[in-house]
Amino acid sequence: MTEVNPATLVPYVTWGAFVLAFIFGFVGNRTNFCTMGAVSDVVNMGDWNRMRMWLLAIAVAIVGAQLLELGGVIKLSNSIYPGPNFTWLSYIVGGLLFGIGMTLGSGCGSKTLIRVGGGNLKSLVVVVFMAIAAYMTLRGLFGVFRVGVLEQASVQLAGGQDLPSLASRLLGAERTTMVWAAMIVVAGALGAFALVRREFWTFDNLLGGVVVGLVIVGGWYVSGKLGYVAEDPKSLQEAWVATNTNRMESLSFVAPQAFFLELLMLWTDTSRILTFGIASAIGVVAGSACYALVSRTFRWESFRDAGDMGRHIVGGILMGFGGIVGLGCTIGQGITGFSTLALGSIITFCAIIVGAAITMKVEYWRMMREA
């Protein structure tokens, strides 16, 4: 067996992440893919098209990720999502706060990066405060509350928290059978709901849903296959190169911004390197900027007043904290984590939607009262 030098795999992982995220940013800008906007459209106008686009992306990601695992290409249990440590309170609190934050900040982590690429200075401020809050939650002041309070409420689920593993233990069936069953039922239901209405069948809606889902699948392949080392010469254990979690990853847009900030601040520290997550964050901005320039929609945009700025700053802080506590954002948990069929990802996804919907109702009530 030929020994693989992990350093030689790093460019494949980082450039792969950049290219996938570039596509995400380009298509996301073109199709107006926005998870916060999806919730807003449903709550305020009863329009489900962007929500259907999000659900279609989840369905595509589930099918792609599960087929990669069934084909022996990757093992989703090697990611952070389906592990046995079920921190239920973190999922709920993190999801709710992220949903509140993305509403105040005018977009989730991915949409914020897309808007930065389009010239939105408000989103740049949100990114900065999100990155600071995320880093404080990972390794700073906020982390004390995360570890000492929220993560204490946990349940150990032997064998993992993904739906196939849970169903396998409950029903006494083979896990592979349950993978097929869960994939067909969950992805089938989401896909059917997304595609059932004829008005959804526009080029942009289908493009956004399918491409975003496939990009997540591509991320799993790049990190879990191209970046996989069966035996790291240093640790003599299996490893995944150029990831911040030291496990395989796909797209997520909260923690990577914290690590990007760390990389910029500690640039001369050679232990800090460009990773999958950092490269993907840069790629989204680049892809969005490319589309904005090509389509001539690039324009500078700033805050209308101090109150607007304050809401966006609070939104960024809440997204940074909530995204770390809940292990991801509307992409990181809402699609990437969901594709592993992890129960925690599904709970976080629901909590994000609830937090955003409640905040939108409160904001509407506040505007009506001030009118």
pLDDT band at 197 (very low <50, low <70, confident <90, very high): very high
> 255-265 and 306-325 are packed helices; what angle lies between their axes, rounded to 10 degrees?
100
Q: Residues 236, 240, 241, 242: is their CA dihedral positive or negative?
A: negative
> 343-370 and 88-104 are packed helices; what angle lies between their axes, rounded to 10 degrees?
40
Per-residue pLDDT tens digits for 162-179: 999 999 999 999 999 999
Per-residue pLDDT tens digits for 132-147: 999 999 999 999 999 9
Whole-number pLDDT of residue 367 = 82
Of the listed ranges 155-159, 222-226, 321-325, the least confidently predicted one is 155-159
pLDDT band at 332 (very low <50, low <70, confident <90, very high): very high
pLDDT band at 1 (very low <50, low <70, confident <90, very high): very low
CB within 8 A of 178, min separation 6: which ones?
163, 164, 165, 167, 168, 171
The answer on pLDDT for 204 being more than 90 is yes
Whole-number pLDDT of residue 43 = 95
Whole-number pLDDT of residue 308 = 93
For the chain, what percent of residues have pLDDT higher than 90?
92
pLDDT band at 41 (very low <50, low <70, confident <90, very high): very high
Whole-number pLDDT of residue 371 = 66
pTM above 0.85, yes or no: yes
Per-residue pLDDT tens digits for 244-303: 999 999 999 999 999 999 999 999 998 899 999 999 999 999 999 999 999 999 999 999
* Higher local confidence (pLDDT), 250 or 238: 250
Per-residue pLDDT tens digits for 99-156: 999 999 999 999 999 999 999 999 999 999 999 999 999 999 999 999 999 999 999 9
Whole-number pLDDT of residue 271 = 87
First-to-last C-alpha distance (Å) of the chain: 72
